[in-house]
């Protein structure tokens, strides 16, 4: 049963080879969210009332859609065109890189639409520096130090959340404050409550 649905664990320095079932599941679970991501991102755009909301909608939408599109392409090539080694390798790297930018994009509404304290305001650009550093790391050390790569994702996912400690208590533009839900790297979809636009969804998924 183990060999039919899932292969045995491989050493840290080797890449895991999915079974046919896992390939199909990877493709389906990523492709399934492309259309909803496009529709949801479009909804955020049309609900935007000012330039900053529009920019945040674009950033988050591109990050979300890019994540599922790139991942779907990689898993499809890895499954059906595995003989294209160079293409598969490049897409695998892009699949890892896009996760960093998706995390940064997930924080965009929080960082751009809330009034932040003096030190926390720097996180608006620092989060993109972190994403760029993660991308450079993947380019040079792809699949070499998996524990370090995991640590990078964890730091990237939780470090920007520290700005909550410095958020000004007065609500954005006189409206009620955001709910205190944090972006996370787990396979779940939850709603980031907002008094003006309760339809702003936050979709977060595991790499």
How far apart, in whole angstroms, are the C-alpha atoms of residue 34 and residue 31?
A: 5
How far apart, in whole angstroms, are the C-alpha atoms of residue 68 and residue 64?
A: 7
Q: How far is CA 25 from the centre of its chain?
A: 19
Most confident of 10-19, 81-90, 184-193: 81-90
CB 61 within 8 A of CB 41: yes
Average pLDDT along the chain:
78
Nearest CA-CA partner of 13 in 145, 153, 142: 145
- The answer, yes or no, to whether residue 37 has pLDDT greater than 50, is yes
Nearest CA-CA partner of 17 in 70, 78, 73: 78
The contacts of residue 46 (CB under 8 Å, 6+ apart) are none
User: What per-residue confidence (pLDDT) applies to 106?
Assistant: 94
- Determine what percent of the chain is predicted with pLDDT higher than 70: 71
- The answer, yes or no, to whether residue 13 has pLDDT greater than 50, is yes
Which region, left, alpha or beta, applies to residue 192 given φ > 0 means left and ψ of -120 to 50 means alpha? Answer: beta
Residues 145-193: tens digit of each pLDDT: 888 989 999 999 998 888 877 765 544 443 343 343 444 433 333 333 3
CB 77 within 8 A of CB 88: yes
Mean pLDDT to the nearest integer, 120-140: 92
For residue 165, the tally of other CB atoms under 10 A from its CB is 9
- The answer, yes or no, to whether residue 16 has pLDDT greater than 70, is no
- The answer, yes or no, to whether residue 105 has pLDDT greater than 90, is yes
User: What per-residue confidence (pLDDT) applies to 144?
Assistant: 85
User: What per-residue confidence (pLDDT) applies to 93?
Assistant: 93
The contacts of residue 85 (CB under 8 Å, 6+ apart) are none
Q: Is the pTM of this model over 0.85?
A: no
Residues 38-79: tens digit of each pLDDT: 999 999 999 999 999 999 999 999 999 999 999 999 999 988
CB 67 within 8 A of CB 100: no
List, in sequence order, every residue forming a beta bridge with 201; answer none if it has no partner.
191
Place of tokens 């649905």: 5
Helix (H, G, I), strand (E, B) or coil at 191: strand
| Ranges of each domain in the chain | 2-10+17-204
């Amino acid at each position: 049963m183990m060999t039919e649905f899932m292969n045995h664990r491989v050493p840290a320095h080797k890449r895991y080879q999915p079974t046919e079932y896992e390939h199909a599941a990877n493709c389906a679970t990523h492709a399934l969210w492309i259309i909803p991501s496009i529709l949801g991102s479009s909804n955020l755009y049309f609900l935007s009332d000012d330039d900053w909301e529009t920019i945040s909608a674009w950033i988050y939408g591109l990050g979300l859609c890019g994540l599922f599109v790139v991942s779907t392409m990689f898993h499809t090539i890895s499954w059906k065109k595995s003989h294209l080694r160079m293409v598969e390798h490049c897409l695998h790297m892009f699949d890892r890189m896009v996760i960093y930018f998706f995390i940064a994009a997930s924080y965009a509404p929080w960082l751009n639409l809330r009034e932040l304290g003096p030190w926390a305001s720097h996180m608006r650009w620092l989060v993109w520096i972190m994403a760029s550093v993660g991308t450079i790391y993947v380019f040079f050390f792809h699949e070499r130090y998996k524990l370090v790569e995991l640590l990078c994702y964890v730091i990237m996912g939780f470090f920007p959340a520290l700005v909550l400690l410095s958020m000004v208590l007065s609500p954005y533009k006189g409206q009620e404050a955001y709910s205190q839900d944090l972006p996370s790297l787990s396979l779940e979809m939850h709603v980031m409550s907002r008094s003006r636009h309760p339809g702003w969804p936050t979709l977060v998924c595991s790499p």
